[in-house]
Amino acid sequence: MSKVGFFQSVRLKLIIVYILLILLGLQVIGAYFVDRLKDQLENNFTESVEGRLDALAFNIQQAFEEEREEGDPSLQSDVQGILNSFNEGYVRNEIRELQVIEEGSNVVIAAYASGGASPQSNVGKKTTNPDVLSAFLLQEQSSPETRLDAETGQRLWVGTRTIENNLDETVAAIYFEADMSSVYEQLQDINRIFANGTALSIFITAILGIIVAGTITKPLIEMRRQAQIMATGDFSQKVNVHGNDEIGQLGHTFNDLNDKLKISQATTEGERRKLSSVLSNMSDGVIATDRLGAITLMNVPASHLIDQRFEEVQGKSLIEILGLEDQVANLKEMEDLDSVIVDMSSSDQHLLLKANFSVVQDENYEMNGFITVISDVTEQQRADQERREFVSNVSHELRTPLTTMRSYLEALNEGAWRDEEIAPRFLDVTQNETDRMIRLVNDLLQLTKMDHKESNFYKEKVEFVSYLEQIIERFEMNKVEGITFTKQLPNESIYVWLDKDKLTQVLDNVISNAIKYSPEGGAVHFHVKRMRHKLQVSIKDEGLGMPSHTVEKIFDRFYRVDKARTREMGGTGLGLAIAREIIDAHHGEIWAESQEGKGTTVFFTLPLMNQKRRGSR
């Protein structure tokens, strides 16, 4: 049993902790006080400067709004006079420099500097100050900020204010620099006082710590010796208790620990096994049960998944809570299960959970409960279902033309090729079905590339109105007789950033559908509307329309409202799905509105080019 040296003893640690606590308290109080004082001094400084700047800005605004007649002083002389009298009557000259710059020309028309410095060298020159230029560009004043003077190292409070006329138009700007040295000099004096007080407090605390630590550590040394004996497995000795304070209660605890340690070992081992199993499955929701299947533990993710709090399900059967009555009759059957899919759907939400069961064993390797790990597989199941439907749709779309081709080719093979009237028609049908399969495969390849982000977009600046008119003009030359086009386009140039080839594919598909489903004598209406940050395009037909519950589905792959008519016209059912992917890639939206008997309108939006981009090209 080694002896503990002074530098490793509790006595030294108590003294250090005692000193550190006092030091920490002083530092926290000092830091809080200094921080609050710093904020107060800075606020007082900024409020003082802001108040003076408010008055200055008002006087300069009056000078700019004043109507001048022949013989009156110039605007520049009036403003310079206002600046020259700005600091008169103030004891502290906090504002180091002022400049008044006229908007448009960006020329300094008046300036002021404290300390006798001559600012006139800047008057009449065009400013290059980025703060001023930014204020003119954004048409608003910048928030003042603290900066360090590169030459003197002084802290400066720098900002820009705009001067507006009666029409709220910016006519000038005030650039100011205020010296904050006085604020930080006061803070340095206060910090020096706190440092002296802290040193004195530590000295007194060290002396008191030595006295207090001696009275505490004496009984602790005896308890340490007895604890080392207990650590060897000898529980026969007892701790001598001196007094009834916290240290005396610690002695009683040692004695109680000696009596209960053997009992606790068995319980601790069982809980350790259960805890180890829980920790190994904490990625999702976790539910623990006892040997009877009653819930004893549940984490937060599990509570969210089953939408019940632990207090509501504690003590209830796991089979009942997860609704496994139809799949599991008793706990014995659960031991043989690896996982099961649980349907927890409600009228408002579709929810599928996957439950993985793990048996917890006691020290005799007998079943002592279950650990159930549950995870949300709703999206995974939905994705699997969509993949199955997609494969089924592709198979169906390919089987139909292949069956047709096979029938016609068999007929030709059986001798129809000799018939000069029938053979060309059969070959024409076979070629049409082949072209249809090629279009289908090409559309599938394009969608696959978009899904995997492999489709390249070559965007450029495009004037949209003229671009759309060219496409409409192309359709007007080849449209079906009896169908008319109406256009409602803006009389201005609107620029967007887009891939012309890809967007042409979208417009071709939407316009072709509008023509395809328009009755004879109908019309297709084009409308372009410029909104705040985007451009909205709508294309409306006068066809039969569609039921409201099918409108959202027309952008799904292979969805057709009128399947027979679409196939007859050569459609693949992928055009609008591709259009949606292309519009999404342009950071826009596409949707449709329709009423039965009143036609269908397809809308899509594109983001407008901002002014900065438009001006740079």
Alpha-carbon span 176 to 96, nearest angstrom: 8
CA atoms 269, 270, 272, 276: torsion sign: positive
The DSSP H or E segment spanning 133 is helix 130-138
Closest by alpha carbon to 175, among 116, 139, 145, 131? 131
Q: What is the pLDDT of residue 93?
A: 64
Confidence band, pLDDT 50/70/90 cuts, at residue 537 = very high
Closest by alpha carbon to 352, among 390, 378, 328? 378
Output DSSP code: residue 167.
T
Residues 6 or more apart from 428 whose CB is under 8 A from it?
none
Q: Is residue 552 predicted with pLDDT exceeding 60?
A: yes
- Token match 């020290």: residue? 363
What tokens appear for 614 in the block? 């438009």
Q: Is residue 542 predicted with pLDDT exceeding 80?
A: yes
Pairing of strands 495-498, 460-463: antiparallel
SS3 347: coil
Asked if 117 and 95 touch (Cβ cutoff 8 Å), the reply is no
Three-state SS annotation for 67-124: CCCCCCCCHHHHHHHHHHCCCCCCCCCCEEEEEEEECCCCEEEEEEECCCCCCHHHCC
Longest dimension (CA), the chain: 122
Alpha-carbon span 562 to 167, nearest angstrom: 59
Q: Where are the beta strands (DSSP E) in 398-513?
A: 460-463, 484-488, 495-498
Output DSSP code: residue 294.
B
CA angle 382, 587, 454 (to 5 degrees): 65
What is the rounded (10 degree) CA torsion for 594, 599, 601, 602?
90
The domain ranges of the chain are: 281-376, 381-451, 460-616
Cα 4 to chain centroid distance, Å, stands at 56
Asked if 401 and 436 touch (Cβ cutoff 8 Å), the reply is yes
The DSSP H or E segment spanning 400 is helix 378-413
Say which CATH class 281-376 falls into.
Answer: alpha beta
Alpha-carbon span 323 to 342, nearest angstrom: 7
Q: What are the helix (H) ranges across 526-610? A: 563-568, 575-585
Q: What is the pLDDT of residue 617?
A: 36
**pTM for the predicted model, two decimal places:** 0.39
Confidence band, pLDDT 50/70/90 cuts, at residue 564 = very low
Asked if 589 and 602 touch (Cβ cutoff 8 Å), the reply is no
- Mean pLDDT (the chain) is 76
Does the domain at 381-451 match CATH 1.10.287.130? Answer given as yes
Average pLDDT score over residue span 452-459: 68
Closest by alpha carbon to 193, among 39, 20, 44, 26? 26
Alpha-carbon span 597 to 602, nearest angstrom: 16
Q: Is residue 129 predicted with pLDDT exceeding 60?
A: yes
Confidence band, pLDDT 50/70/90 cuts, at residue 612 = very low
What tokens appear for 486 in the block? 């109406």
Average pLDDT score over residue span 345-358: 76
Average pLDDT score over residue span 183-196: 82
Topology of domain 460-616 in CATH is Heat Shock Protein 90 (3.30.565)
Asked if 583 and 590 touch (Cβ cutoff 8 Å), the reply is yes
The pLDDT tens digits for 294-316 are 888 777 777 777 878 888 888 88
